[in-house]
Chain A
Amino acid sequence: EVQLLESGGGVVQPGGSLRLSCAASGFTFSSYAMSWVRQAPGKGLEWVSAISGSSDTTHYAVSVKGRFTISRDNSKNTLFLQLNSLRAEDTAIYYCAYGLSTLEYWGQGTLVTVSS
């Protein structure tokens, strides 16, 4: 059974940083691309970033490019998202998801709140 468990969310001031983690199990992690999708409170879904299984390719939404960094540790079956220079509009639930074009499995999400 595929399981994705995000952690690392919290309250941070504008301009601050956070590192989100997603622990994966139930599949051969290194073989699959992984993605991050976020959802602002009461709003729709926004694709944020994706990474190939071998980490050789990464992709970012324009809204986060240059501020967020996606990475993975295949030895620990863990996906990361480093969030820097955070803004109020980055406040959202951040979901990790299995896949790139089709997001077949999703974690339960971790809430990031950017507020002074």
Chain B
Amino acid sequence: DIQMTQSPSSLSASVGDRVTITCQASQDISIYLNWYHQKPGKAPKLLIYDASNLEAGVPSRFSVGGSGTDFTLTISSLQPEDIGTYYCQHYHHLPYTFGQGTKLEIK
């Protein structure tokens, strides 16, 4: 199985800060990567698909990059509604494993 490793595991930042989360795959997954955002007590929501495409309604302060084994998710100016846990997920081949998550909090 492909292992997905996110860093950091948790992050505390101030409103307006630039925040970057990284996701590393244990083998080349091309662009077969999604990002999800889970707010506390809620179901996850699709944020980014195919490594670089923002889901409809996702603010432009979110940007992504990477291919192969290394990927990033950046929030250019952190907002209070961005808190929660972010997960990457590959879909190169089954099983489609998730990263362990990055918990984002506001200072």
Contact = CB atoms under 8 A, between A and B. Distances in A.
Question: Are A and B genuine complex partners?
Answer: yes
Nearest to A99: B46
A45 B44 contact: yes
Contact of A102 (B1, B49, B85): B49
Given A102-B91, A106-B44, A107-B43, A47 B98 contact: yes
Contact of B99 (A37, A44, A107, A109): A44
Given A102-B49, A103-B36, A47 B95 contact: yes
Interface of B: 1, 32, 34, 36, 38, 42-46, 49-50, 55, 85, 87, 89, 91, 94-101
Interface of A: 37, 44-47, 50, 59, 61-62, 95, 100-109
B88 to A, nearest CB: 10
Contacts of B42: 108
Contacts of B43: 95, 106-109
Nearest to A61: B95
Best-surrounded residue of A59, A102, A107 (most CB of chain B within 10 A): A102
B43 to A, nearest CB: 4
Contacts of B85: 44
Contacts of B91: 100-102
A44 B38 CA distance: 10
A3 B32 CA distance: 26
A102 B47 CA distance: 10
A38 to B, nearest CB: 11
Contact of B32 (A44, A45, A101, A106): A101
Nearest to A45: B98
B101 A102 contact: no
Nearest to A107: B43
Given A59-B94, A62-B95, A102-B46, 8 more contacts: A44-B87, A44-B100, A45-B36, A45-B44, A45-B87, A59-B95, A100-B91, A103-B46
